[in-house]
Structure 1
Protein backbone atom coordinates (compact mmCIF):
# COMPACT_ATOMS: atom_id res chain seq x y z
CA UNK A 1 0.00 0.00 0.00
CA UNK A 2 1.36 3.43 -0.95
CA UNK A 3 1.86 5.87 1.92
CA UNK A 4 0.85 9.43 1.16
CA UNK A 5 3.17 12.29 2.03
CA UNK A 6 2.16 14.32 5.04
CA UNK A 7 -0.61 16.71 4.08
CA UNK A 8 0.42 20.35 4.10
CA UNK A 9 -1.56 23.52 4.62
CA UNK A 10 -0.99 25.92 1.74
CA UNK A 11 -0.22 29.51 2.71
CA UNK A 12 -1.64 31.96 0.15
CA UNK A 13 -0.23 35.02 1.93
CA UNK A 14 1.99 37.21 -0.19
CA UNK A 15 0.99 35.68 -3.51
CA UNK A 16 1.05 38.16 -6.40
CA UNK A 17 -0.97 35.72 -8.50
CA UNK A 18 -3.22 32.77 -7.71
CA UNK A 19 -5.23 30.53 -10.00
CA UNK A 20 -7.13 27.28 -9.59
CA UNK A 21 -6.61 25.06 -12.63
CA UNK A 22 -9.55 22.72 -13.29
CA UNK A 23 -9.03 19.00 -13.72
CA UNK A 24 -7.65 18.03 -17.15
CA UNK A 25 -6.87 21.61 -18.22
CA UNK A 26 -3.66 23.42 -19.33
CA UNK A 27 -2.13 26.66 -18.04
CA UNK A 28 0.90 28.81 -18.83
CA UNK A 29 2.59 31.98 -17.65
CA UNK A 30 5.95 33.72 -17.88
CA UNK A 31 7.88 33.66 -14.60
CA UNK A 32 10.35 36.48 -14.14
CA UNK A 33 13.77 35.68 -12.73
CA UNK A 34 13.51 35.39 -8.96
CA UNK A 35 9.76 34.69 -8.91
CA UNK A 36 8.60 31.47 -7.30
CA UNK A 37 5.79 29.31 -8.65
CA UNK A 38 4.04 27.12 -6.11
CA UNK A 39 2.02 24.19 -7.47
CA UNK A 40 -0.47 22.82 -4.95
CA UNK A 41 -1.99 19.34 -5.24
CA UNK A 42 -5.34 20.47 -3.89
CA UNK A 43 -6.97 17.07 -3.36
CA UNK A 44 -3.98 14.72 -3.48
CA UNK A 45 -2.59 12.16 -5.95
CA UNK A 46 -2.81 14.50 -8.97
CA UNK A 47 0.01 14.44 -11.54
CA UNK A 48 1.04 17.79 -13.03
CA UNK A 49 3.00 17.67 -16.30
CA UNK A 50 5.22 20.68 -17.01
CA UNK A 51 7.53 22.21 -19.63
CA UNK A 52 9.90 25.19 -19.33
CA UNK A 53 11.23 27.47 -22.07
CA UNK A 54 13.53 30.48 -21.96
CA UNK A 55 11.07 33.30 -22.65
CA UNK A 56 13.69 35.30 -24.60
CA UNK A 57 14.73 32.33 -26.77
CA UNK A 58 12.31 29.36 -26.69
CA UNK A 59 14.88 27.24 -28.55
CA UNK A 60 16.44 26.97 -25.10
CA UNK A 61 14.17 24.71 -23.09
CA UNK A 62 14.10 22.23 -20.23
CA UNK A 63 16.27 19.16 -20.72
CA UNK A 64 15.35 16.11 -18.66
CA UNK A 65 18.57 14.38 -19.71
CA UNK A 66 20.85 17.23 -18.63
CA UNK A 67 18.90 17.75 -15.42
CA UNK A 68 19.34 14.12 -14.38
CA UNK A 69 22.99 14.08 -15.46
CA UNK A 70 23.90 17.20 -13.50
CA UNK A 71 22.10 16.00 -10.37
CA UNK A 72 23.25 12.40 -10.57
CA UNK A 73 19.74 11.45 -9.46
CA UNK A 74 16.79 9.80 -11.18
CA UNK A 75 14.23 11.96 -9.38
CA UNK A 76 13.31 15.62 -9.00
CA UNK A 77 13.63 16.64 -5.35
CA UNK A 78 14.26 19.59 -3.05
CA UNK A 79 17.35 21.40 -4.33
CA UNK A 80 17.18 19.99 -7.86
CA UNK A 81 18.38 22.40 -10.56
CA UNK A 82 16.22 22.31 -13.69
CA UNK A 83 18.75 22.53 -16.51
CA UNK A 84 18.24 23.64 -20.11
CA UNK A 85 19.49 22.04 -23.32
CA UNK A 86 22.21 24.73 -23.27
CA UNK A 87 23.42 23.66 -19.84
CA UNK A 88 22.06 26.67 -17.97
CA UNK A 89 20.01 26.49 -14.79
CA UNK A 90 16.45 27.57 -15.61
CA UNK A 91 14.93 27.10 -12.15
CA UNK A 92 15.42 25.36 -8.82
CA UNK A 93 13.18 23.33 -6.53
CA UNK A 94 13.21 25.51 -3.42
CA UNK A 95 10.47 23.86 -1.32
CA UNK A 96 8.78 20.48 -1.53
CA UNK A 97 6.31 18.86 0.84
CA UNK A 98 5.78 15.77 -1.32
CA UNK A 99 9.25 14.24 -1.42
CA UNK A 100 10.07 13.46 -5.03
CA UNK A 101 8.82 13.93 -8.58
CA UNK A 102 9.38 12.32 -11.99
CA UNK A 103 11.02 13.41 -15.22
CA UNK A 104 11.41 10.02 -16.95
CA UNK A 105 7.92 8.77 -17.80
CA UNK A 106 6.95 11.53 -20.24
CA UNK A 107 3.43 12.76 -20.94
CA UNK A 108 0.35 10.83 -22.00
CA UNK A 109 -0.93 11.21 -25.56
CA UNK A 110 -3.82 9.85 -27.59
CA UNK A 111 -1.42 7.55 -29.41
CA UNK A 112 0.31 6.19 -26.31
CA UNK A 113 -3.06 5.67 -24.63
CA UNK A 114 -4.16 3.52 -27.58
CA UNK A 115 -0.97 1.44 -27.44
CA UNK A 116 -1.00 0.96 -23.68
CA UNK A 117 -4.69 0.73 -22.89
CA UNK A 118 -6.43 -0.23 -26.13
CA UNK A 119 -7.87 1.48 -29.19
CA UNK A 120 -11.05 2.75 -27.43
CA UNK A 121 -8.89 5.09 -25.30
CA UNK A 122 -7.35 6.82 -28.34
CA UNK A 123 -9.84 9.68 -28.26
CA UNK A 124 -9.51 10.45 -24.57
CA UNK A 125 -8.01 13.82 -23.66
CA UNK A 126 -4.27 13.72 -22.95
CA UNK A 127 -1.37 15.91 -21.79
CA UNK A 128 0.26 16.12 -25.22
CA UNK A 129 -2.90 17.70 -26.59
CA UNK A 130 -2.97 20.13 -23.65
CA UNK A 131 0.63 21.09 -24.38
CA UNK A 132 -0.09 21.64 -28.09
CA UNK A 133 -3.03 23.90 -27.24
CA UNK A 134 -1.16 25.94 -24.64
CA UNK A 135 2.07 26.26 -26.62
CA UNK A 136 0.11 27.63 -29.59
CA UNK A 137 -0.69 30.70 -27.48
CA UNK A 138 3.03 31.49 -27.43
CA UNK A 139 3.85 30.81 -31.09
CA UNK A 140 5.17 27.31 -30.41
CA UNK A 141 4.04 24.00 -31.93
CA UNK A 142 4.08 20.28 -31.20
CA UNK A 143 7.65 20.20 -32.53
CA UNK A 144 8.63 22.15 -29.42
CA UNK A 145 7.39 19.50 -26.97
CA UNK A 146 10.28 17.78 -25.20
CA UNK A 147 10.61 15.26 -22.38
CA UNK A 148 8.73 16.88 -19.52
CA UNK A 149 8.52 17.09 -15.75
CA UNK A 150 5.81 15.21 -13.85
CA UNK A 151 5.24 16.85 -10.50
CA UNK A 152 3.60 14.64 -7.83
CA UNK A 153 3.87 11.59 -10.12
CA UNK A 154 5.27 8.46 -8.48
CA UNK A 155 7.49 6.47 -10.86
CA UNK A 156 9.83 4.12 -8.97
CA UNK A 157 12.93 3.07 -10.93
CA UNK A 158 14.57 -0.26 -10.08
CA UNK A 159 18.33 -1.00 -10.26
CA UNK A 160 17.90 -2.38 -13.79
CA UNK A 161 16.38 0.89 -15.00
CA UNK A 162 12.84 -0.42 -15.30
CA UNK A 163 10.08 1.88 -14.12
CA UNK A 164 6.32 1.97 -13.84
CA UNK A 165 3.66 4.49 -12.86
CA UNK A 166 2.16 3.61 -9.47
CA UNK A 167 -0.12 5.27 -6.91
CA UNK A 168 0.87 8.84 -6.12
CA UNK A 169 2.29 9.74 -2.71
CA UNK A 170 1.13 13.37 -2.54
CA UNK A 171 -1.60 14.20 -0.05
CA UNK A 172 -4.16 17.02 -0.18
CA UNK A 173 -2.38 20.36 0.06
CA UNK A 174 1.10 19.09 -0.75
CA UNK A 175 3.08 21.57 -2.81
CA UNK A 176 6.29 22.14 -4.71
CA UNK A 177 8.01 25.53 -5.18
CA UNK A 178 9.98 26.30 -8.35
CA UNK A 179 12.09 29.47 -8.31
CA UNK A 180 13.05 30.89 -11.72
CA UNK A 181 16.75 31.52 -12.40
CA UNK A 182 15.91 33.22 -15.71
CA UNK A 183 12.72 34.51 -17.32
CA UNK A 184 10.90 31.30 -18.23
CA UNK A 185 7.69 30.32 -19.95
CA UNK A 186 6.17 27.71 -17.63
CA UNK A 187 3.57 25.43 -19.23
CA UNK A 188 1.36 23.01 -17.27
CA UNK A 189 -0.99 20.20 -18.19
CA UNK A 190 -3.13 19.18 -15.23
CA UNK A 191 -2.99 15.54 -16.25
CA UNK A 192 -6.28 14.02 -17.51
CA UNK A 193 -5.09 10.39 -17.43
CA UNK A 194 -7.70 7.92 -16.14
CA UNK A 195 -6.13 4.63 -17.28
CA UNK A 196 -3.24 4.39 -14.81
CA UNK A 197 -2.96 5.37 -11.12
CA UNK A 198 -0.97 8.61 -11.57
CA UNK A 199 -4.14 10.58 -10.70
CA UNK A 200 -5.80 7.94 -8.58
CA UNK A 201 -7.97 7.28 -11.67
CA UNK A 202 -9.77 10.54 -10.86
CA UNK A 203 -8.28 13.81 -12.19
CA UNK A 204 -8.75 16.74 -9.80
CA UNK A 205 -8.02 20.51 -9.70
CA UNK A 206 -4.71 22.05 -8.68
CA UNK A 207 -3.74 25.56 -7.56
CA UNK A 208 -0.84 27.71 -8.71
CA UNK A 209 0.56 30.73 -6.89
CA UNK A 210 3.33 33.12 -7.89
CA UNK A 211 5.34 35.09 -5.34
CA UNK A 212 7.75 37.92 -6.03
CA UNK A 213 11.18 37.78 -4.35
CA UNK A 214 10.24 40.45 -1.79
CA UNK A 215 7.34 38.29 -0.57
CA UNK A 216 9.45 35.20 0.06
Structure 2
Protein backbone atom coordinates (compact mmCIF):
# COMPACT_ATOMS: atom_id res chain seq x y z
CA UNK A 1 0.00 0.00 0.00
CA UNK A 2 1.35 3.43 -0.94
CA UNK A 3 2.58 5.45 2.02
CA UNK A 4 3.02 8.68 0.02
CA UNK A 5 1.91 9.92 -3.37
CA UNK A 6 3.02 13.21 -4.92
CA UNK A 7 1.81 14.92 -8.09
CA UNK A 8 4.60 17.04 -9.56
CA UNK A 9 3.27 19.68 -11.91
CA UNK A 10 4.82 20.33 -15.30
CA UNK A 11 8.16 22.18 -15.05
CA UNK A 12 8.27 22.00 -11.21
CA UNK A 13 10.76 20.55 -8.68
CA UNK A 14 10.20 18.17 -5.77
CA UNK A 15 12.27 16.49 -3.08
CA UNK A 16 11.59 13.87 -0.43
CA UNK A 17 13.15 11.18 1.74
CA UNK A 18 13.00 7.51 0.72
CA UNK A 19 13.81 5.19 3.63
CA UNK A 20 15.89 2.02 3.29
CA UNK A 21 13.63 -0.76 2.02
CA UNK A 22 11.03 1.60 0.57
CA UNK A 23 10.32 1.72 -3.17
CA UNK A 24 10.08 4.97 -5.09
CA UNK A 25 8.11 4.75 -8.33
CA UNK A 26 8.27 7.58 -10.85
CA UNK A 27 5.32 7.59 -13.25
CA UNK A 28 5.27 9.46 -16.55
CA UNK A 29 1.61 10.52 -16.53
CA UNK A 30 1.23 11.60 -20.16
CA UNK A 31 4.34 10.15 -21.85
CA UNK A 32 7.56 11.59 -23.30
CA UNK A 33 8.45 13.54 -20.12
CA UNK A 34 12.06 13.68 -18.96
CA UNK A 35 12.46 13.49 -15.17
CA UNK A 36 15.86 14.81 -14.05
CA UNK A 37 16.75 13.15 -10.75
CA UNK A 38 19.47 13.32 -8.08
CA UNK A 39 20.01 11.15 -5.00
CA UNK A 40 21.86 12.07 -1.78
CA UNK A 41 22.48 9.95 1.30
CA UNK A 42 20.04 11.18 3.93
CA UNK A 43 22.02 12.61 6.86
CA UNK A 44 25.24 12.97 4.86
CA UNK A 45 24.62 14.86 1.63
CA UNK A 46 28.35 14.74 0.79
CA UNK A 47 27.62 11.19 -0.35
CA UNK A 48 25.56 11.45 -3.52
CA UNK A 49 24.76 9.86 -6.85
CA UNK A 50 27.69 9.22 -9.18
CA UNK A 51 26.76 8.69 -12.82
CA UNK A 52 30.33 7.69 -13.70
CA UNK A 53 30.52 4.98 -11.04
CA UNK A 54 27.01 3.76 -11.84
CA UNK A 55 27.79 3.29 -15.55
CA UNK A 56 31.22 1.80 -14.88
CA UNK A 57 29.84 -0.80 -12.50
CA UNK A 58 26.99 -1.79 -14.84
CA UNK A 59 29.12 -1.75 -18.00
CA UNK A 60 26.18 -0.05 -19.70
CA UNK A 61 25.54 3.43 -21.12
CA UNK A 62 21.98 3.49 -19.74
CA UNK A 63 20.07 2.97 -16.51
CA UNK A 64 17.52 0.14 -16.60
CA UNK A 65 16.06 -2.78 -14.69
CA UNK A 66 18.67 -4.27 -12.38
CA UNK A 67 20.87 -1.14 -12.41
CA UNK A 68 22.48 -0.38 -9.07
CA UNK A 69 22.56 3.35 -8.39
CA UNK A 70 26.07 3.98 -7.00
CA UNK A 71 27.28 6.83 -4.81
CA UNK A 72 30.57 8.74 -5.02
CA UNK A 73 31.65 6.60 -2.04
CA UNK A 74 31.10 3.40 -4.05
CA UNK A 75 28.00 2.34 -2.10
CA UNK A 76 24.73 1.09 -3.58
CA UNK A 77 22.07 3.74 -2.97
CA UNK A 78 19.12 2.18 -4.81
CA UNK A 79 18.38 -0.65 -7.25
CA UNK A 80 16.07 -0.38 -10.25
CA UNK A 81 13.47 -3.12 -9.76
CA UNK A 82 10.89 -2.30 -12.45
CA UNK A 83 10.99 -0.40 -15.72
CA UNK A 84 8.24 -0.27 -18.32
CA UNK A 85 10.05 2.21 -20.58
CA UNK A 86 13.49 0.69 -21.13
CA UNK A 87 15.51 3.85 -21.78
CA UNK A 88 16.92 6.20 -19.14
CA UNK A 89 19.92 8.48 -19.73
CA UNK A 90 22.60 9.51 -17.26
CA UNK A 91 25.08 11.21 -19.59
CA UNK A 92 23.32 14.24 -21.12
CA UNK A 93 22.98 16.16 -17.85
CA UNK A 94 20.44 18.79 -16.86
CA UNK A 95 19.37 21.80 -18.91
CA UNK A 96 20.43 25.22 -17.65
CA UNK A 97 19.87 28.81 -18.72
CA UNK A 98 23.48 28.85 -19.92
CA UNK A 99 23.21 25.68 -22.00
CA UNK A 100 19.86 26.84 -23.42
CA UNK A 101 21.58 30.03 -24.58
CA UNK A 102 24.44 28.14 -26.23
CA UNK A 103 22.23 25.49 -27.86
CA UNK A 104 19.12 27.45 -28.77
CA UNK A 105 20.01 31.16 -28.85
CA UNK A 106 20.05 34.16 -26.53
CA UNK A 107 16.28 34.56 -26.64
CA UNK A 108 15.94 31.30 -24.63
CA UNK A 109 18.12 32.40 -21.70
CA UNK A 110 15.12 33.53 -19.64
CA UNK A 111 13.42 30.11 -19.87
CA UNK A 112 13.18 27.99 -16.73
CA UNK A 113 15.65 25.08 -16.55
CA UNK A 114 16.37 21.96 -14.52
CA UNK A 115 19.41 23.45 -12.79
CA UNK A 116 17.14 26.22 -11.46
CA UNK A 117 14.73 23.57 -10.17
CA UNK A 118 17.55 21.58 -8.55
CA UNK A 119 18.88 24.73 -6.87
CA UNK A 120 15.44 25.57 -5.48
CA UNK A 121 15.19 22.10 -3.91
CA UNK A 122 18.74 21.53 -2.63
CA UNK A 123 18.74 24.89 -0.82
CA UNK A 124 15.78 23.63 1.23
CA UNK A 125 18.18 20.99 2.59
CA UNK A 126 21.11 23.33 3.29
CA UNK A 127 22.99 22.65 0.06
CA UNK A 128 24.09 25.01 -2.72
CA UNK A 129 24.72 24.89 -6.46
CA UNK A 130 28.09 23.29 -5.70
CA UNK A 131 26.14 20.21 -4.57
CA UNK A 132 24.34 19.73 -7.89
CA UNK A 133 26.10 16.87 -9.67
CA UNK A 134 25.45 15.10 -12.99
CA UNK A 135 22.00 13.50 -12.79
CA UNK A 136 19.84 10.67 -14.10
CA UNK A 137 17.31 11.61 -16.79
CA UNK A 138 14.52 9.08 -16.37
CA UNK A 139 12.51 8.56 -19.58
CA UNK A 140 14.94 10.64 -21.65
CA UNK A 141 16.06 9.04 -24.92
CA UNK A 142 19.69 9.80 -25.81
CA UNK A 143 20.95 7.35 -28.45
CA UNK A 144 24.70 6.96 -28.84
CA UNK A 145 25.78 6.24 -32.41
CA UNK A 146 28.86 4.14 -33.32
CA UNK A 147 31.01 7.30 -33.54
CA UNK A 148 30.16 8.10 -29.90
CA UNK A 149 27.97 11.08 -30.77
CA UNK A 150 24.91 11.60 -28.56
CA UNK A 151 21.63 13.22 -29.55
CA UNK A 152 18.49 13.98 -27.54
CA UNK A 153 15.53 12.62 -29.51
CA UNK A 154 11.84 11.88 -28.93
CA UNK A 155 11.21 10.02 -25.70
CA UNK A 156 10.04 6.40 -25.80
CA UNK A 157 7.80 6.55 -22.73
CA UNK A 158 4.05 6.16 -23.11
CA UNK A 159 1.40 7.53 -20.72
CA UNK A 160 1.65 5.61 -17.45
CA UNK A 161 5.15 4.23 -18.03
CA UNK A 162 7.08 3.94 -14.79
CA UNK A 163 10.42 3.15 -13.22
CA UNK A 164 10.72 1.80 -9.67
CA UNK A 165 13.76 1.78 -7.39
CA UNK A 166 14.18 0.19 -3.97
CA UNK A 167 16.33 2.18 -1.55
CA UNK A 168 19.37 0.36 -0.16
CA UNK A 169 19.97 3.24 2.28
CA UNK A 170 17.98 6.27 3.42
CA UNK A 171 18.15 8.73 0.51
CA UNK A 172 17.02 12.22 -0.35
CA UNK A 173 15.52 12.22 -3.85
CA UNK A 174 15.55 15.54 -5.72
CA UNK A 175 13.54 15.82 -8.95
CA UNK A 176 13.21 18.44 -11.65
CA UNK A 177 10.19 17.68 -13.82
CA UNK A 178 12.05 18.98 -16.85
CA UNK A 179 10.75 22.29 -18.28
CA UNK A 180 12.70 22.07 -21.56
CA UNK A 181 10.69 23.12 -24.64
CA UNK A 182 13.53 23.58 -27.16
CA UNK A 183 14.43 19.92 -27.73
CA UNK A 184 12.25 16.80 -27.95
CA UNK A 185 13.07 15.33 -24.50
CA UNK A 186 9.56 16.36 -23.36
CA UNK A 187 7.86 16.18 -26.74
CA UNK A 188 8.13 20.01 -26.69
CA UNK A 189 5.30 19.99 -24.13
CA UNK A 190 6.21 19.50 -20.42
CA UNK A 191 3.58 17.52 -18.51
CA UNK A 192 2.95 16.38 -14.89
CA UNK A 193 4.39 13.26 -13.30
CA UNK A 194 3.58 11.23 -10.19
CA UNK A 195 5.91 9.91 -7.51
CA UNK A 196 4.83 7.09 -5.20
CA UNK A 197 6.88 6.04 -2.15
CA UNK A 198 5.70 2.70 -0.76
CA UNK A 199 6.75 0.57 2.21
Q: For 2:127 and 2:151, how far apart are their aligned partners in 1?
A: 30
Q: Match for residue 68 of structure 1?
A: 55
Q: Aligned residues, how many? A: 199
Q: Match for residue 38 of structure 1?
A: 25
Shift of 1:107: 0.1
Q: For 1:174 and 1:195, how far apart are their aligned partners in 2?
A: 23
1:78-117 alignment, distance < 5 Å = 78-117=65-104
Residue of 16, 20, 40 corresponding to 1:53: 40
Shift of 1:159: 2.3
Q: For 2:71 and 2:147, how far apart are their aligned partners in 1?
A: 27
Q: TM-score, normalised by structure 1?
A: 0.91
Q: For 1:30 and 1:55, how far apart are their aligned partners in 2?
A: 7
Does residue 120 (structure 1) correspond to residue 107 (structure 2)? The answer is yes
Q: Match for residue 135 of structure 1?
A: 122
Q: For 1:193 and 1:79, how far apart are their aligned partners in 2?
A: 29
Alignment gaps of 5+ in structure 2: none
1:189-204 alignment, distance < 5 Å = 189-204=176-191
Q: For 1:196 and 1:132, how far apart are their aligned partners in 2?
A: 22
Any idea what the Cα deviations from partners look like across 1:28-87, whole Å, max 9, x if unmatched?
001100110000000000000000000121110000000000000000010000000010
Does residue 29 (structure 1) correspond to residue 16 (structure 2)? The answer is yes
Q: Match for residue 177 of structure 1?
A: 164
Shift of 1:161: 1.7
Instruction: Provide the alpha-carbon RMSD of the alignment.
Output: 0.5
Alignment gaps of 5+ in structure 1: 1-13
Any idea what the Cα deviations from partners look like across 1:61-117, whole Å, max 9, x if unmatched?
000000000000000010000000010000010000001200000000000000000
Q: After TM superposition, which residue ranges in structure 1, 4 or more long, deviate above 2 angstroms?
A: none
